[in-house]
Structures are given as structure tokens and as C-alpha cells.
Amino acid sequence: MKELRKYSQFESVAEMDKSIEKYLTEYALNERDRTVLWKVACYSVKFVGVSYLKVQTLADLTGYAKRTIQRSLKSLTELGILTRVDQFKPVKGGYSASITVINPFKSHHVETPCEEATEPVEEWAEEDLTHRETINFKAKTSIKKDYVEDMAHELDQLEAIGVPTQFSTVALPYFDASKVYKLWSRVQLAARKYAPDLVELTEIAVSSVQASVFASKVKRVRDFTGYFYGVISQKLTQSQRSLKCRLFNFLQ
């Protein structure tokens, strides 16, 4: 396994995380590719940016089919985000699992600018995303009494079905109640996948909404829900990693 070290292109996990964040910000990756990229990153800590995950293992970790994982790895490789290195073992007479290398955003950006990147095919298991999701923020030209009353009613409705008021308060100026509930369901989905030990999600979810809304205002975001899911997944992964590090230090 020490041979993996020679493929590492990062000085630290924090440096790798910054590159991942840049990829999620600069590229219109679909939810499938975001999920796979972050799962690869989660298992690329010992030798920073390098992992030895089999396709089937990635499928088990993400819940996607093996063929879906293969398409995702192909897509991320074609974009230059990942590099796959086949390992040949003559004794066994064939190839073993490929080494997966995360490329630094800086070097990759020089070689393949995001303006020239081919957008991957959308693929989402829970809903049909064959059409483009148009981000229509609510028009708020003035704060009127009826709007305030409507928002209060929506806050009550969302709180009744388990959506934290702090999260709803930040999201409702831009989306209706059904969309806010959908975003919160993505928070819960991401938490189960990336931060199962994290108890408090609201603060991270709020900052993720704010970051996603800001990104939508300054650049083109095809799928807000998918973009938001990528942001929240990244933040939860980092929080889970920090939590485990603190626990390890405590036990030492």
C-alpha cells in the first residue's frame, strides 16, 4: 500500500478539500458524480488524494449500481478531476483494483478549463431530472403584510413536519414550502451518507443554503438541488472527519 504515496499530489487533507470544493463550485457535476467524488475523497486521507477502492466497494458505499459507478468514474476521469491507474499483478495473471488519484484543481484547471468541459449526463435515482430545473427565486419587490403572514404560515407548516425554523427562515425568501422541505430532505440524506455521527445539522444546512443561493446569483447553476446537495455533502464530510479526529485525540 505504500506505493500509493508516490501518486499523492497534495501536502495535506485540507489542501485536497480545497480542490474538491473548487471542482464542485466550478463544474456543473450531477448528483451522482458529486456523491462518487466525495466518497472517493473520504477514502483518500491516509495517502492524501489517493485511494484503492474497487468499483464494487464504491457501489456498496454509495448505493449506486456498479455500472453507474463505472460511468461516474469515466465522467470524472474525462473531466480530469480523477486519474485511474491500473495495477497489473503478473502472479495473479491480471489487473487488480485501479488506483484512483484526485488531481489538484490548479494543475487540472490549466490543462482543461471548465469552460471547455463536457457536461455529464444527469442521473438521479429518486426523481426525473431529464428536464432542466429552472431556478425561479420568489420575486420580493416589497415586503407586504400578506407575504409576512404567508411566510409565518409556511414556517408553522414546515416546523410541524420536522424542518428546523432556522433553516426555513433562510430558505423561504427564495423558495416555496415544498421546495424547502425537499432541500431539507437532501440534508438528511447527505447526513446519513456522510456524517452519521453528527447530531446537529441545522447550522451546516443554513450555511449551505446561503452558499448555494450566492453561487446561483453570480453564475449559472443548472440544478440548484444537486448543487446544494454537493455543498452540504462537502461540509458534512469535513465535520464528520473533524469529529472522528477529536474523538481519536480524546481516546489517546
pLDDT in tens, 79-137: 899 999 876 454 444 445 688 999 998 755 444 434 444 344 333 333 333 333 444 45
pLDDT digit string (tens) for 15-67? 888 888 888 878 888 888 888 988 888 888 888 899 888 898 888 888 889 99
Q: Which amino acid is at 165?
A: T
Please report the pLDDT score of residue 28 as a whole number.
80
Q: Considering the chain, tell me which residue range(s) the CATH 1.10.10.10 domain(s) occupy.
A: 1-123
Q: How far, in Å, are 8, 48, 50, 138 from residue 5 at the CA level? A: 5, 8, 8, 50
Alpha-carbon span 25 to 13, nearest angstrom: 18
SS3 207: helix
Please report the pLDDT score of residue 233 as a whole number.
92
Beta strands 82-85 and 88-89 are unpaired
Alpha-carbon span 77 to 98, nearest angstrom: 13
Cell numbers describing residue 5? 504515496
Q: Domain 1-123's class?
A: mainly alpha
